[in-house]
Amino acid sequence: MLQLGVAEPMRECEYSQISTRSSTPMETPYKKRTPKKRKWQAFPGRNKFYCNGRIMMARQTGVFYLTLVLILITSGLFFTFDCPFLSVQLTPAIPVIGGVLFVFVLGTLFRTSFSDPGVLPRATPDEAADLERQIDVANGSSSGYRPPPRTKEVVINGQTVKLKYCFTCKIFRPPRASHCSLCDNCVERFDHHCPWVGNCVGKRNYRFFYMFILSLSFLTIFIFAFVITHVILRSHRQGFLNALKDTPARYPFSQWCCVCFLSPLLPSPASPCLLLCMTAVPTGASVVPSLPSKLSRSHSLSILPPSISVLRSKQQDLSCVFREVDSRLGWRG
């Protein structure tokens, strides 16, 4: 009986040491899966990302913050010192119209600065190696021979177009695509890199950039005109010098300084740059004269195309992405 009593607790101790997680020999030990990185986390270009890849900007954002501060200061001084007087003496619609323009300007600025301008995905190492072999076979290159600048002829809308090869991204760029040296990306329908908005201007944000410079031109003229109106109305009652003292003088002049500083940066509707955009967008014409006319009939203010890079998705083989690009553009090699 004594031996039986000692054996019982020993048996219970053995049972407690048996793991209940693996009940069958076919089960494998649990391995913690490492989550795949998203594309923006391994993005090879020189860009900065915020909000889990939702916001994409260039690395040089100092001038963008300067633009934002100038807009906020100019509009803030106008709403603080001019709108109360003008809404009583003229009409309450002045601050309302100014507020709508101000909100629209900030919205288009943020949309231009924070969006993907149309970055083309780079080729994977396997795709780049396969493309190198195809180019060597096509050019008949031998050892020690460097082929000329690489091009590829495709047929678009019945016209033969030569596509240039990007040695950095290892892809053939579509028409009007170019490589930005600051962001180190190939951008579809690349227009220019604008430091004032802190981003490239391309296919996916050109419309917002156009609306930004147009609306800010209206806001600049609106503020400038009513600041002068404010001073003139006060000068009729008190004299010009007393009007400057009551305004007070330093605030309207600071507004004028900001307006004068912004005027070359953000052109008025009479400027040649904005006139060129206003004539090119409605007709669908291209500002790049080297392209054939039929290829230039693409409206910059049409429906916003989806992002080709899909930077918030997880990393995968990009061959399906390139097939999607080819089918969208109607290429035939």
> For residue 79, what is the DSSP state?
I
Q: Quote the strand ranges of 174-312, DSSP E.
A: 178-180, 185-187, 192-194, 199-201
Contact 220, 259 (CB under 8 A): yes
Region for 52 from its dihedrals, namely left if φ exceeds 0, alpha if ψ lies in -120 to 50, beta otherwise? left
Q: Which of helix, strand or coil describes residue 119?
A: strand
Task: Give the span between the Cα atoms of 135 and 138, in whole angstroms.
Answer: 5
Coil/strand/helix, residue 40? helix
Alpha carbon separation from 65 to 41, 50, 93 (Å, rounded): 24, 16, 30
Of the candidates 4, 34, 45, the one whose C-alpha atom is nearest the C-alpha of residue 184 is: 45
Distance CA 13, CA 11 (A): 5
Phi, psi of 264 (to 5 degrees): -75, -25
Task: Kindly name the residue from 83, 183, 194, 277 that is annotated as catalytic.
Answer: 194
Q: Is residue 51 annotated as part of the catalytic site, yes or no?
A: no
DSSP string, 135-168: HHHHHT--TT----S-EEEEEETTEEEEEEEETT
Residues 248, 246: Cα–Cα separation, whole Å: 5
| Positions marked catalytic | 194
